[in-house]
Amino acid sequence: MDQLDRAERKLENLQKRELERQLNIQQYRNDFLDAKSETLDYVFNNFKEKENEILNLIKNSPVIPKDKLPAYFDNISKQILILQKYIASSNMFLRTYDIEVYQKTIQNLSMQLKETEAQLMPKKKFGFRNKKIAIEKINRDVVDSKLNGGQHHQSKEITLDENYCGFKNEDNKTLKLLAADTCKKDVSLSNLVNCTVYIHGAPSTLHVSNIKNCTIYSGPVSTSIFADKCEDCFMFISCQQLRLHSSKRVDIYLHVTSRAIMEDCTQIQIAPYNYSYNGIEEDYAVAGLNRDINNWQCVDDFNWLNSEKKSPHWSILEEANRSNLNNHHA
């Protein structure tokens, strides 16, 4: 009878501890969600306030003296960039949907500014478009020739306009964007297979989606890098914040001044950024990133709530297995 009583008491204690554990987990989640909700409201209110200020500045443009318009528009452009950096620094609290909405709003602000600037400060037409296309074609031909041992390589599609540039729907190609292509633009890479991509300059953001067996060598990105559905890839990237979604078997050589965030990812390996090229110091200056601050080991896994144990979804890449780029040239 004593043995039976002891067994029952032991079972009761185990059940009690399990119940306490579940309650603690639930309380942790509730506290996290409450804090997140408050932060979401705070970010939203700040964003709307700044958005309205920028809209008012754009609206008041017609009453500004013509000789002061260049400086006036430059100030608005800087305000938009500050707002973009604010959202990038708040990414760890935001849902993917929120980020997309904020980014779309910022893009709309940029478009309104450009349209207003074009109306109030029209540029003379002298066949710039044809000249631009010709120069871009020459640049791409030269780059492709160098990257492919003198053999001409033609990219299927490259989008270069005032706000965006990038590559999509490419297979087994070597692709490159120059500093002149990417400065303060949003770079997009999508639907790439077996490709090597070089990105120089100081892009505003970098969006990567649905790539397989690819290697990306990127210079500094002013704000955030968003990567989704990446498999069996290598990334050499530098940014203010990284968000990685739904990816697996990716080695990331990272320079990040804020945080790296991952969600629904497995078999991710992290190492410090070691990519370099001629002109990278100038690109860092334009991007506004501090090379002395690198939180490459600070990774927040949204699928791992246990603060006492490290997430099993990512690990530090062992030094013996890291790529040596000392003799690498883009």
CATH code of residue 61: 1.20.58.1250
Is residue 165 situated within a structural domain?
Answer: yes
Same domain, 110 and 186: no
198 and 306 in a common domain: yes
Please tell me whether residues 300 and 184 are part of one structural domain.
Answer: yes
- Which pLDDT does position 106 carry in this prediction? 87
- Quick check: is 145 in a domain? no
pTM: 0.56
Q: Are residues 163 and 304 in the same domain?
A: yes
Structural domain includes residue 150: no
Q: What is the pLDDT of residue 313?
A: 94
Compute the 3-state secondary structure of the chain and give helix, strand, coil in percent, each to the nearest 5: 45, 25, 30
- Say if residue 308 is in the same domain as residue 204: yes
Same domain for 263 and 315? yes
- pLDDT given for residue 173 in this prediction: 95
For residue 330, is it within any domain? Answer: no
> What pLDDT score was predicted for residue 233?
97
Choosing from 120, 144, 174, the residue where a domain stops is: 120
Which residue range forms the structural domain that includes residue 16? 2-120
pLDDT of the residue at 88: 77
Task: List pLDDT tens digits, range 100-123.
Answer: 888 888 888 888 888 888 888 775
Residue 158 is predicted with a pLDDT of: 46
- Report pLDDT for 69: 81
CB 259 within 8 A of CB 300: yes
- In the chain, the number of structural domains is 2
- Co-location of 110 and 233 in the same domain: no
Based on the fold, state whether residues 109 and 204 are members of the same structural domain.
no
Residue segments in the chain with a per-residue pLDDT below the cut of 70: 1-39, 91-93, 123-163, 326-330
Of 120, 146, 169, the last residue of a domain is: 120
Q: Indicate if 280 and 230 belong to the same structural domain.
A: yes
Same domain assignment for residues 175 and 26: no
The string of DSSP codes covering 115-171 is: HHHHHHSPPPPSSHHHHHHHHHHHHHHHHHHHHTTT-----S-EEESSSEEEEEEEE
pLDDT computed for residue 308 by the predictor: 75
Question: Of the candidates 64, 94, 120, which is a domain's last residue?
Answer: 120
Is residue 6 in some structural domain? yes
Evaluate whether residue 171 is within a structural domain.
Answer: yes
Return the CATH number at 166. 2.160.20.70
pLDDT of residue 280: 93
The answer to whether 275 and 236 are in contact (CB under 8 A) is yes
